[in-house]
Amino acid sequence: MTDDDPDEYGDVYALTIMESDTKLFISHHEGGRSTDDATELFNDFESKRSNTSPLPLFTSDDWDPFKAALLNVYGSLEQTPYCGIGRKPLPVLVPPEDLMYAQVCKKVTSGHVDEMRRRVVFGDTEEILRIFEGDSGGCINTSYIERINLTIRNSLARFIRKGMNCSKSTRMHSRAIDFFQVWYNFVKPHKSLKLKVNCGNKKWLQRTPAVAQKLTDHVWTFKELLTFRVPVQ
């Protein structure tokens, strides 16, 4: 980089959110590694969540801005009691009772994981472990989101470091991930989502995350994706 390069040149980090049961890739945000970036990610997720659906269980690594961003989006200001001495305390952000958030904390040395700890940040520990009981043996983990991040890196040459395919602008970088998102959700069947059926010679029903989430009733073709007309909002 040189002094004449635009401000957007340099490292850009992609933050992602997915739904573990259906593998639906819900939201992404490209930018830096700050609380403001994490807040924009959760604001985008919240804009897509139905008002009638409960808050999901959030999991991540031990990146502190995620905790602060969840408080910014879902928390409410509460005034702490004043004891009558000194300045009155400022209001603090308090998480709602139904907010659940757990972290997987890894200690890495020379590229190897030496220690792994799991902790509950918001919510009831027993309730969170009960939710994980179905497919993770009651163990808090981030394997699903780590897997989709690997799929993004393997599918988009823009994420290859020190390569000529790097994005030349943040806008086009984000649009490339938009295209990957809709392809991943509607076109690419997911092996873990297929259903066993008894219909002649057909033994398995292939499903995409969008089918599993009931956003559509069939696996889209690439042509259908490219010719789909987005409704005017």
Q: How far is CA 14 from the centre of its chain?
A: 10
Each residue of 28-59: pLDDT tens digit? 999 989 999 999 999 999 999 988 889 999 99
Report d(CA 147, CA 232) in Å as an integer: 34
Structural domain count of the chain: 2
Q: Residue 209 sits in which domain range?
A: 189-227
Answer yes or no: do 92 and 106 share one domain: yes
Answer yes or no: do 20 and 95 share one domain: yes
Each residue of 105-129: pLDDT tens digit? 888 787 787 888 889 999 998 898 8
Answer yes or no: do 51 and 154 share one domain: yes
> Which residues are registered as beta bridge partners of 120?
102
| Sign of the alpha-carbon dihedral angle for 42, 23, 56, 48 | positive
Per-residue confidence at 163, pLDDT binned at 50, 70, 90?
confident
> What would the DSSP string read from start to end of 169-215?
SHHHHHHHHHHHHHHHHHTS--GGG-EEEEETTEEEE---HHHHTTS
pTM over 0.95: no
Q: Do 154 and 173 form a contact (C-beta atoms < 8 A)?
A: no
Answer yes or no: do 126 and 48 share one domain: yes
Classified as helix, coil or strand, 35 is helix
Answer yes or no: do 73 and 181 share one domain: yes
